[in-house]
Structure 1
Amino acid sequence: MKQINQPGRIHVVFQPKEKTSLAAEPEWHRHPAHEVLLDIEKEMEHLIGLADLKILVRELYATAYINQKRIEADIQTKGQMLHMLFTGNPGTGKTTAARIIASMFKRLHILEKGHFIEAERADLVGEYIGHTAQKTRDLVKKAMGGVLFIDEAYSLARGGEKDFGKEAIDTLVKQMEDHQNDFILILAGYPREMAHFLTLNPGLHSRFPITHHFADYTVDELYQIAEQSAHEKWYDIDSAAKPILMEKIAEEKRKQGFRFANGRNIRTMIEKAARKQAIRLMKQTTHSKKDLRLLKGEDFELSK
Structure 2
Amino acid sequence: MAPLAQGTKDSAYYQKSSAEQLMELIGLSDVKKVILKRIDFMRAQKIQRDRGKSTSFVPAHMAFLGNPGTGKTEVANLLAHILVEKNLLSVGKVIQVPAVSLISLPSAIPSLFDNARGSIIFIDEAYTLLSSPAAISSMVESMDRYKNEVVVIMAGYSEEMNELFYSNPGLVSRIRSQIYFPDYSDDELVQIFELMCLQREYQYDSEMPKLVKQFISIQDKDRYFGNARFVRNLVEEMMLNEGARTVRLFDSEGEDVISDKNLKFFTKDDFEEACVSIQQEIKRKKRLTLGFK
Which residue of 2 is the match for residue 291 of structure 1? 262
Could you tell me which residue of structure 1 aligns to residue 124 of structure 2? 151
1:200 shift after superposition:
3.3
Residues 73 and 51 (structure 1), Cα distance of their counterparts in 2 relative to 1, 3 Å cut: same
- How far apart are 1:73 and its partner, in Å? 6.3
Q: Which amino acid aligns with 1:298?
A: D
1:220 to 168, 172, 187: 187
Equivalent pair of 2:194/2:209 in contact (CA under 8 Å): no
Give 1:73-222 correspondences, 5 Å limit: 75-76=53-54, 78-126=56-104, 132-157=105-130, 160=131, 165-222=132-189
Counterpart pick for 2:34 among 56, 81, 84 = 56
Aligned to 1:19: none
Give the distance between the partners of 1:72 and 1:183, measured in 2 at CA.
Answer: 18
Q: Residue 72 of structure 1: CA displacement? A: 6.5
SS at match of 1:49: coil
Retained in 1: the 8 A contact 2:242–2:266?
A: yes
Distance 1:133 1:273, change over 3 A: closer
1:117–1:143 Cα contact (<8 Å) kept? yes
Aligned-residue Cα RMSD (Å) equals: 2.3
Deviation string for 1:218-253 (max 9, x for gaps)? 11111111111111111013211222111111223x
- 1:71, distance to aligned residue in structure 2 (A): 5.2
Q: Larger % of helix: which?
A: 2
Alignment TM-score, normalising by the size of structure 2: 0.78
After TM superposition, give the deviation of residue 68 of structure 1 in Å: 4.6
For the residues of structure 1 that align with 2:82 and 2:165, how far apart are their CA atoms?
A: 27
Q: Residue 227 of structure 2 corresponds to which residue in structure 1?
A: 262
Q: Which amino acid aligns with 2:163?
A: H
The alignment's TM-score, normalised by the length of structure 1, stands at 0.76
Structure 1 residue 77: Cα displacement: 5.6
Question: Does the C-alpha gap of structure 1 residues 217 and 107 become closer, same or farther in structure 2, counting only changes over 3 Å?
Answer: same
For residue 97 of structure 1, give the secondary structure of its aligned residue in structure 2.
helix
| Structure 1 residue matching 2:118: 3-state secondary structure | coil
**Counterpart contact for 1:248–1:300, Cα < 8 Å:** no
Q: CA deviation at 1:47?
A: 1.9
Q: How does 1:274-285 map to 2 (within 5 A)?
A: 274-281=239-246, 282-283=248-249, 285=253
Unaligned runs of 5+ in 2: 1-15, 280-293
For structure 1, the residue ranges without an aligned partner over 5 or more in a row are: 1-37, 127-131
Question: What is the alpha-carbon distance in structure 2 between the residues aligned to residue 76 and residue 139 of structure 1?
Answer: 29
Secondary structure of residue in 2 paired with 1:53: helix
How far apart are the structure 2 equivalents of 1:74 and 1:139? 31
Distance 2:38 2:190 in 1: 30
Say which SS state the counterpart of residue 257 (structure 1) adopts. coil
1:46 deviates by 4.5
- Distance in 2, matches of 1:144 and 1:96, equals 21
Give me the whole-angstrom Cα distance separating, in 2, the residues matched to 1:211 and 1:103: 20
Alignment partner of 1:44: what SS? helix
Q: Is the 8 A contact 2:113 2:146 kept in 1?
A: no
Deviations 1:18-58 (Å, cap 9, x if unpaired)? xxxxxxxxxxxxxxxxxxxx712332354211212222232
Residues 166-219 of structure 1: CA distance to partner in whole angstroms, max 9, x if unpaired? 311121112223333232111000111111122332311111111100000011
Q: Which residue of 2 aligns with 1:40?
A: 18
**Which stretch of the first structure deviates more once superposed, 108-117 or 211-220?**
108-117
Q: Which amino acid aligns with 2:194?
A: E
CA contact (8 A) 2:84 2:90 kept: yes
Alignment CA distance shift 1:283-1:197 (3 Å) = same
CA contact (8 A) 1:92 1:215 kept: yes
Residues 7-22 of structure 1: pairs in structure 2 closer than 5 A:
none
Q: What is the number of residues matched between the two proteins?
A: 254
